């Protein structure tokens, strides 16, 4: 969800040099975009507050960039040194391998009940909740108000209007009329938003991969012919344009429209860009659903600290702490109590997030409860840009991705 910094930090709670009954180890992702707002500061303050009232438990937090954190946890688990907790982007492999505590073994009933239901359901594996939602976001269409005013256009509500707006922006010399980041950084997200916009998705209603569906083929054919082929996506080929670069170009006033998540708000505001946000258009109206992304908190069984893990995570998920994290990093709360508090708040920092909050209950998530998803996501990141290249074939690329997804799913099921 957030650009990685390549930073690693190790945190020890207050008084961590003394003896204690239990030391918990947590590996967490860094949501900051500079050393000044690194997640290590958030966790340091939270651990200090927890340990002040729980002297028998110490918490050590290792913070890694999003480039590294999932691989670091896998390395620790594979070497037999699993952390007690990991705040990362995927969970199904660990749940399938029997390495995680079910949520009910750690969290209090009250904390479990407070999770936004749709997010909690996405953390189920084999009908058992294992993964606890930690941070969430949805996607909307951002547009540059100044560029739209100069081109005398209004925000689009359909694909035809989006293409027409992009034509008008191009005529005014806008560098990226519509930024389409299908580069390897986060191509799976941009792809899913467009699949939903076209009326389909990665899977059908029962969880079977349908990447090569007729609707998905029509979606990428339209992107190739009506946007990319007409020079409406800017000077960088979509397959080489990463999300971070697209966001930076938007903040620099070079992008007319792009799909974005809440962190783009602060990035654009910091550069003084006047922007608006509207739901992602569909073929003939609003998209079938917005895309939602959730990051997860996992509790590993190896060290046997279920009670202490539950005590600490109940504290992490208190309304005050959830709101503090969400506001600090421009993300959506994962608990109902914090979501309601934010949606009812007219604070300057909360108001821009209301548009994202409204979409959260109906947003569709990646198929993260499939152990094959990691492999499928990697394949999409690598190949999807070719679908809109001048010599590319949308149908051919989607067919290859479908074959890879079917094979990965078959292998995962046979191993499970």
Same-domain pairing of 304 and 374:
no
Whole-number Å distance between alpha carbons of 142 and 191: 17
Give the model's pLDDT for residue 15. 36
Q: Work out the end-to-end distance of the chain between its first and last CA atoms, rounded to an integer number of angstroms.
A: 28
Tens of pLDDT, residue by residue over 223-247, are 999 999 999 999 999 999 999 899 9
Same-domain pairing of 195 and 255:
yes
Domain-embedded: residue 3: no
pLDDT mean over 375-393: 95
Report which DSSP code applies to 278.
E
What CATH code is carried by the domain that includes residue 375? Answer: 3.40.190.10
pLDDT mean over 53-62: 96
Least confident of 70-79, 253-262, 353-362: 353-362
Whole-number Å distance between alpha carbons of 29 and 19: 27
Give the model's pLDDT for residue 361. 82
Report which DSSP code applies to 298.
E
Whole-number Å distance between alpha carbons of 332 and 319: 12
Domain-embedded: residue 4: no
Give the model's pLDDT for residue 416. 56
- With cut-offs at 50, 70 and 90, classify the pLDDT of residue 33: confident
Write out the two tokens for 411. Answer: 């292998």
Place of tokens 């030391």: 23
pLDDT above 90 coverage of the chain, percent: 78
Same-domain pairing of 153 and 256:
yes
Domain residue limits at 372: 140-291+367-414
Domain-embedded: residue 261: yes
pLDDT at 172 over 60: yes
Give the model's pLDDT for residue 3. 36
Domain-embedded: residue 87: yes
- 324 touches 115 (CB < 8 A): no
Tens of pLDDT, residue by residue over 242-279, are 998 999 999 999 999 999 998 899 899 999 999 999 99
Give the chain's mean pLDDT. 91
Tens of pLDDT, residue by residue over 291-324, are 999 999 999 999 999 999 999 999 999 999 999 9
Whole-number Å distance between alpha carbons of 290 and 372: 23
In this structure, the number of other CB atoms found within 10 A of the CB of residue 17 comes to 7
Whole-number Å distance between alpha carbons of 43 and 9: 11
Whole-number Å distance between alpha carbons of 391 and 363: 34
Q: Cα-atom radius of gyration of the chain, to the nearest Å?
A: 22
pTM higher than 0.95, yes or no?
Answer: no
Same-domain pairing of 93 and 206:
no
């Amino acid at each position: 969800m957030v650009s990685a910094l390549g930073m690693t930090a190790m945190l020890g709670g207050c008084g961590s040099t003394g003896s204690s009954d239990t030391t918990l180890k947590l590996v967490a992702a860094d949501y900051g975009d500079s050393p000044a707002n690194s997640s290590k500061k958030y966790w340091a303050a939270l651990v200090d507050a927890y340990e002040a009232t729980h002297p028998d438990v110490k918490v050590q937090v290792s913070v890694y960039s999003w480039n590294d954190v999932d691989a670091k946890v896998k390395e620790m688990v594979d070497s037999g040194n699993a952390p007690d907790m990991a705040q990362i982007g995927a969970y199904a492999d660990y749940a399938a391998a029997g390495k995680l505590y079910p949520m009910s073994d750690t969290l209090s009933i009250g904390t479990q009940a407070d999770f936004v239901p749709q997010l909690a359901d996405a953390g189920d594996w084999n009908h058992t909740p294992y993964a606890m939602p930690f941070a969430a976001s949805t996607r909307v269409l951002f547009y540059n108000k100044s560029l739209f005013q100069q081109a005398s256009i209004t925000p689009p509500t359909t694909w035809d209007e989006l293409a027409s707006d992009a034509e008008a922006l191009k005529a005014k010399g806008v560098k990226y009329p519509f930024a389409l980041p299908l580069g390897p950084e986060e191509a799976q997200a941009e792809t899913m938003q467009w699949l939903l916009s076209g009326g389909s998705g990665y899977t059908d209603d029962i969880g079977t991969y349908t990447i090569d569906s007729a609707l998905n083929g029509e979606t990428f054919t339209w992107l190739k012919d009506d946007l990319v082929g007409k020079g409406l996506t800017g000077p960088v080929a979509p397959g080489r344009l990463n999300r971070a670069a697209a966001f930076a170009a938007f903040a620099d006033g070079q992008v007319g429209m792009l799909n974005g998540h809440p962190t783009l708000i602060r990035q654009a505001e910091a550069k003084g860009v006047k922007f608006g946000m509207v739901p992602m258009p569909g073929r003939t109206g609003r998209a079938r659903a917005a895309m939602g992304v959730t990051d997860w908190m996992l509790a590993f069984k190896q060290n046997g600290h279920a009670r202490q893990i539950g005590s600490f995570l109940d504290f992490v998920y208190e309304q005050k702490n959830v709101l503090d994290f969400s506001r600090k990093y421009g993300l959506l709360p994962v608990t109902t109590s914090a979501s309601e508090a934010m949606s009812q708040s007219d604070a300057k920092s909360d108001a821009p997030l209301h548009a994202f909050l409204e979409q959260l209950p109906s947003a569709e998530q990646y198929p993260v409860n499939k152990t094959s998803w990691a492999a499928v996501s990697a394949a999409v990141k690598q190949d999807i840009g070719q679908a809109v290249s001048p010599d590319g074939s949308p149908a051919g690329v989607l067919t290859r991705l479908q074959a890879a997804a079917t094979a990965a799913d078959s292998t995962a099921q046979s191993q499970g």
